[in-house]
A and B are shown apart, each in its own frame.
Chain A
Amino acid sequence: MNENKFMTMDPNTGPMEAAIKPLPFKDPNFIHSGIGGAAAGKKNRTWKNLKQILASERALPWQLNDPSYFNIEAPPSFKPAKKYSDISGLPANYTDPQSKLRFSSIEEFAYIRMLPSDVVTGYLALRKATSIVP
């Protein structure tokens, strides 16, 4: 039979559970039901996101060769990036000085010059080449 999850704290059953800032588990009497009331009635607690978790993990006493989530990150590339046209993806030899978009043929250039500015910004943002606006 399925019963609802209880919200009350029951210190007699098991250890005092640790409610980390975000954790609301106050139901040691978990009896499974799909549609529980556990979601309701708790304060708005924010969970740590991955960045915050990693920041505090870094502070732990790791040894030099210990594997950890942050030190298995792949290194940046050593090879120079190849340039491709923003429009067609073909290898691009040319860059439009006005919009900084890359293109590979005259037709593409004409197309670029007709683009509205939001599309131009969109293409630049796609390869993280947006200029730093003061």
Chain B
Amino acid sequence: AAAGLVFQFRDARWLPDPVLGPSPAVRTPQPVPLVIDNGSFQARAGWACSDPEVPGEPLLRFRSLAARSRGARGGAGTETQVGNDLGSPEPLRWLLRSPFDRNVPVQLELQELLFDHIFQRLGVSSQGCVDHPIVLTEAVCNPLYSRQMMSELLFECYQVPKVSYGVDSMYSFHHNTRQDWPCNSLIVSSGYQCTHVLPVLEGRLDAKNCKRINLGGCQAAVYLQRLLQLKYPGHFAAITLSRMEEILHEHSYIAEDYIEELQKWRSPEYYESNVHKMQLPFSSKLLGTTLTSEEKQERRQQQLRRLQELNARRREEKLQLDQERLDRLLYVQELLEDGQMDQFHKGLVELNMDSAEELQSYIHKLSLAIEQTKQKILQAEVSIEVDVVDSKPETLDLDPLGSEQSLEDVESIHEFEPLFAEEQPDVEKPVTTVEPVFNLAEYHQLFLGTERIRVPEILFQPSLIGEEQAGIAETMQYVLDRYPKEQQALLVQNVFLTGGNTMYPGLKARIQKELLEMRPFQSSFQVHLASNPILDAWYGARDWALEYVNHEEGWITRKDYEEKGGEYLKEHCASNVFVPIRLPKQAPRTTETLAPSKVLAASIGNPCDLA
């Protein structure tokens, strides 16, 4: 067998963020802005300070996740872990929660936890408030409600002096261009949850012509996970989202010409030399299973035994019921044979049947069913191990506890059925004979062939996962078509790619090919990739903060918040467009209200009245 390219998973653990003690320069002569790139994948936070003692890069980078493990009942003793404190996302995967729904924060309690984490670890030391101006990223065309809640959190809970909201891709764009003359660009920004096509004219976002495709790194990871789980059902649990992310980051690429690239993969030689084999960890003790602890296997066997018993019990009960019913039918049939017509007809009516033929066919069917059940019982009895018979008396469900248990078992049957089919032959085969050609290491490898290009391709062909939206290329064309030809030509001179999900090798070449196909013959275009697609948004936000910290432009002060409401936005070169619609100030759920509650969403123009 070819040596091939075998790779290990790094399965890296996250290191907890230390509590930093920032240099006094962040507070003197005045508190410097705190820059937070609040992404649905990762939060990045740091200072915007020109003092060389203060690092000019994000000091905190952590996944935007929190897990609340409930302690005692009643909420007391809930332990919350945020970001890197989680260590590894996999054991807690089902408990992990994110404040984001797609790319918009909606669960502000969780957002509060993330902010708490940021402020604490950065070493914010002001009393009673967070004394620093905050620069925060928000979604393109962020819903007003979401901004309202975010502003409320920042101004009311943390009492910040002023806030500036901007779009991450715009910050990245400005960081990469950084010229004073107005610039035009078509930004393609692909993140964790969405991909945006953003036309920029004269350095400002032309928001009404933006388009958003609801696909990003998250959907790619889930797609890859499902593909591999279907291909390797035996390794279901080992195919975790974290490992999928590793594969996407390091083993995937985007084909310049998808069909052509697929044809290359058809050839066995190409496959052999380009397949990436991901080695799953395994232990040579247990043959044929992916479990590495014997306890787990024990429990599995126990559960299987319980299931077998349950099935056997159900079959016997069914057999008994069927037998009784058959007896009743036969009795009625005998009445016919004996010539007792009246009684026979009465019997038929009781059985809800119309004729002797129907009775006969029923008897026939029922007899067959009984035969089958008997057969199954015999088969099951043969394959049940001796242990099961011994433990049988324990499982008689005469008490409610036992019946509860059997209910669980019924549900777990469905979970175990595919495994059941797998396990049974293993149990019967003698374990001692190991076939000489069986390579245990290879059994625990995931072969990545066309998956390497198939998964990132969903950005260009969302139909691969059944999404109706157009892909990046078609959306770019759609956006360009909304402009007159002269402006189209301007926009394509600077197609700018940013965002973590644009880091696939080969993306730039692919975009260039797509542009070549959609642009007029012999027209020109240029594609640029951000210097650091992941962090440039943070760096751009920091640049902006340093430049504008003492200006009025772009900052929402506390006074603005109180007068104009939480949904208010002060525009600047990297911000969304503000649509001045007033939202009603939401009424508290509790009875304590000082402001009258406004329930109608359509009430506009009401000044924010405060107690």
Contacts and interface: CB of A to CB of B under 8 A. Distances in A.
A34 B120 contact: yes
Nearest to A20: B586
A19 B585 CA distance: 9
Interface stretch (B299-307, B308-316, B449-457): B449-457
Interface stretch (B225-233, B328-336, B350-358, B500-508): B225-233
A16 B586 CA distance: 11
A89 B271 CA distance: 13
B602 A88 contact: no
Interface stretch (B20-28, B136-144, B287-295, B371-379): B136-144
B474 A79 contact: yes
A48 B109 CA distance: 12
A50 B595 contact: no
Contacts of B109: 22, 24, 39, 47
Contacts of A45: 589
A60 interface: yes
A69 B142 contact: yes
Interface in B425-458: 449-451, 453-454
A49 interface: yes
Interface in B203-237: 207-208, 210-214, 223, 226-227, 229-231, 233
A128 to B, nearest CB: 3
A41 interface: yes
A10 B259 CA distance: 65
A65 B208 CA distance: 6
Interface in A16-50: 16-25, 27-36, 38-42, 45, 47-50
A116 B116 contact: no
Question: Looking at A2, A45, A129, which has the most chain B CB atoms within 10 Å of its CB?
Answer: A2
B469 A17 contact: no
Contacts of A21: 586, 589
Interface in B43-98: 68, 75-76, 78, 80
Contact of B475 (A68, A74, A123): A74
A30 B157 contact: yes
A54 B465 contact: no
A20 B145 CA distance: 11
Contacts of B230: 119, 122-123, 126
B101 A49 contact: yes
B393 interface: no
Contacts of B466: 126-129
A72 interface: yes
Contacts of B469: 73-77
A48 to B, nearest CB: 6
Contacts of B590: 19
A41 B451 CA distance: 48
B581 A61 contact: yes
Given A30-B129, A72-B211, A39 B468 contact: no
Contacts of B463: 77, 81-82, 127
Nearest to A84: B464
Nearest to B562: A15
Contacts of B238: none
A114 B210 CA distance: 47
B212 A76 contact: no
B471 interface: yes
A74 B462 CA distance: 12
Contacts of A91: 259, 262
A116 B363 CA distance: 34
B208 to A, nearest CB: 5
A97 interface: no
Interface in B250-290: 259, 262, 265-266
B418 A116 contact: yes
A73 to B, nearest CB: 6
A39 B68 contact: yes
A25 B107 contact: no
A25 B152 contact: yes
Contacts of B581: 60-62
Given A18-B152, A78-B470, 19 more contacts: A9-B592, A19-B588, A20-B586, A21-B589, A22-B108, A22-B109, A25-B153, A56-B145, A57-B143, A67-B208, A67-B210, A69-B139, A74-B469, A75-B478, A82-B463, A91-B262, A122-B226, A127-B464, A128-B466
Interface of A: 1-3, 9, 11, 14-25, 27-36, 38-42, 45, 47-50, 53-54, 56-57, 59-63, 65-69, 72-79, 81-82, 84, 87-91, 116, 118-119, 122-123, 126-129
19 contacts: A2-B120, A3-B127, A18-B152, A18-B586, A20-B586, A25-B153, A36-B116, A48-B145, A53-B104, A65-B208, A66-B208, A67-B210, A74-B214, A74-B470, A78-B470, A89-B453, A90-B262, A122-B229, A129-B466
